[in-house]
């Protein structure tokens, strides 16, 4: 007889494992099925984000920034060091230890919350049944649930003209495990993933070229910040080529020959390594959606309503397999919403206040509307901008490139969007998200006391600037 659970979760990434834990807290019996394994072949919970995405990339970014400070910035502080060298295997080992520790922590949380963890691949078998095949293709079993939550995440999107080989032509996962700094590196894609990975290896000494097919740099970000970011990334040594469509890549003994086409015609570039970072695709291929009638769109995403309900009764889908941004925190909140609604609570996700972050140096973060979006809606708004160069803490840190920008409804004074380019922008944006979540006005931020000196003061000053009265800047 098949095991039966209140909730069957497919996937143990930020959406799946958080949902499983919250469901257990609400008194449900829960099983979470995941097929990810680490380098040693053992179960590795946490999904893409923890194992080969958000966490390892941030570990490498941190290491590379320390290296860059030692090479360039410490002299300005009066600190003299000897020759600075990078031990890449040690850096990768540190990254792996961080990942392993956090993945083990998810398993501990499962045990403490009495969530059953199964290593295998789950396939919808009709009704509320799931067929689980063990990793390696061994015999499986069928389990049943009163509810099913699909949180199978995403995987790197490939390019037909550029097949990866796992050695010199790799995807974003492979770029986290280079054994040495490539002499010359091409990254296909200048989006979030491409910029972060490119930044790591550029700071460590690689000659990095980013080939972006789009003519616009960071089209989802605020235009003013995108323009400033392009200048700063270029100043740091990233060679960003827009409107560059890659035609082919051929691996040879000396590396890779990449052919691409741009406004200047067809061009070739020879590099040591090639990274394909053109986005991600939903992991819905193995669900057997067609046979059970699960509705997918033309790009393979599962169709859901505002509460993440699919077209099949008691089957939900969240995270990277559904509409919306592929962000770990968005996925987690959707998972929590689903299980709380199953439990009878009136939970929901406010998609208007989900923060975005690019972990370059300086970081770029935003929440809410951009000017482009407000103009398209013919909405009247005010703009407040405060540059980091006028902020005391930024000057003391020696990091003055960037700004904080606030967009405010002209009639109601309500904050519509906040855009930040600054050190630790990922932390600074939290104040903006909280303010918008509570429907705050620009005046609310103007009257909120911010510590001095702090980077957070740029938010206060930008709010003042929206009414033409910043206290520490006259641009």
Whether residue 170 contacts residue 276, with contact meaning beta carbons closer than 8 Å, is answered with yes
CB neighbour burial string for 131-147, b if at least 16 within 10 angstroms, e if fewer: bbbeeeeeebeebbbeb
Q: Coil, strand, or helix at residue 182?
A: coil
**135, 120 in Cβ contact below 8 A?**
yes
Residue 92's contacts (CB-CB under 8 Å, 6 or more residues apart) are 176, 177, 178, 179
Place of tokens 């931020």: 445
474 is catalytic: no
Cα–Cα distance, 257 to 242 (Å, whole number): 19
Q: 124: which strand partners? A: 130
Choose the catalytic residue: 303, 452, 460, 474: 452
Look at residue 34 and give its three-state secondary structure: strand
Residue 123: strand, helix, or coil: strand
* Alpha-carbon torsion angle 92, 98, 99, 104, nearest 10: 140
Integer angstrom CA distances of residue 421 from 174, 201, 215, 459? 28, 21, 22, 11
Which residues contact residue 150 at a Cβ distance below 8 angstroms, ignoring those fewer than 6 apart? 10, 11, 284, 287, 302, 310, 315, 316, 317, 318, 321
CA-CA distance, 414 to 443, in Å (whole number)? Answer: 9
- Listed in sequence order, the DSSP H helices in 355-408 are 371-376, 392-397
Catalytic center residues: 452
């Amino acid at each position: 007889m098949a095991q039966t659970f209140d909730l069957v979760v497919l996937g143990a990434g930020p959406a799946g494992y958080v949902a499983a834990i919250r469901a257990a807290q609400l008194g449900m019996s829960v099983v979470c099925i995941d097929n990810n394994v680490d380098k040693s072949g053992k179960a590795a919970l946490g999904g893409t984000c923890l194992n080969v995405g958000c966490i390892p990339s941030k570990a490498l970014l941190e290491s590379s920034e320390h290296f860059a400070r030692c090479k360039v910035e410490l002299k300005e502080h009066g600190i003299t060091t000897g020759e600075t060298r990078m031990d890449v295997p040690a850096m990768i080992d540190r990254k792996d230890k961080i990942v392993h520790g956090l993945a083990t922590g998810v398993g501990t949380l499962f045990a403490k919350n009495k969530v059953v963890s199964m290593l295998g691949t789950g396939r919808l078998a009709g009704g509320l049944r799931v067929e689980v095949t063990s990793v390696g293709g061994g015999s499986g079993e069928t389990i049943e649930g009163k509810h099913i939550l699909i949180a199978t995440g995403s995987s790197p999107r490939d390019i037909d003209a550029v097949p990866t080989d796992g050695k010199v032509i790799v995807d974003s996962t492979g770029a986290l495990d280079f054994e040495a700094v490539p002499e010359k590196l091409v990254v296909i894609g200048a989006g979030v993933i491409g910029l972060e990975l490119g930044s790591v290896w550029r700071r460590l000494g690689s000659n990095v070229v980013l080939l972006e097919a789009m003519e616009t740099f960071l089209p989802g970000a605020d235009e003013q910040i995108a323009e400033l970011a392009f200048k700063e990334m270029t100043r740091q040594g990233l060679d960003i080529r827009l409107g560059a469509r890659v035609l082919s890549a051929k691996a040879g003994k000396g590396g890779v020959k990449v052919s691409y086409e741009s406004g200047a015609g067809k061009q070739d570039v020879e590099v040591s390594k090639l990274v394909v970072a053109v986005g991600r695709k939903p992991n819905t291929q193995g669900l057997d959606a067609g046979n059970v009638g699960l509705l997918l769109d033309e790009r393979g995403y599962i169709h859901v309503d505002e509460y993440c309900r699919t077209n099949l009764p008691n089957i939900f889908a969240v995270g990277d397999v559904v509409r919306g941004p592929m962000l770990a925190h968005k996925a987690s909140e959707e998972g929590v919403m689903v299980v709380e609604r199953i439990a009878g609570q009136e939970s929901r996700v406010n998609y208007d206040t989900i923060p975005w972050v690019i972990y370059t140096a300086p970081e770029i973060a935003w929440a809410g509307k951009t000017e482009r979006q407000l103009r398209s809606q013919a909405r009247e708004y005010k703009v407040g901008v405060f540059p980091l160069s006028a902020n005391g803490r930024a000057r003391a840190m020696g990091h003055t490139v960037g700004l904080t920008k606030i967009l405010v409804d002209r009639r109601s004074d309500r904050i519509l969007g906040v855009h930040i380019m600054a050190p630790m922008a990922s932390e600074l944006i939290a104040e903006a998200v909280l303010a918008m979540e509570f429907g705050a006005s620009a005046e609310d931020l103007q009257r909120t006391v911010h510590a001095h000196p702090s980077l957070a003061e740029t938010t206060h000053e930008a709010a003042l600037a929206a009414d033409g009265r910043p206290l520490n800047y006259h641009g």
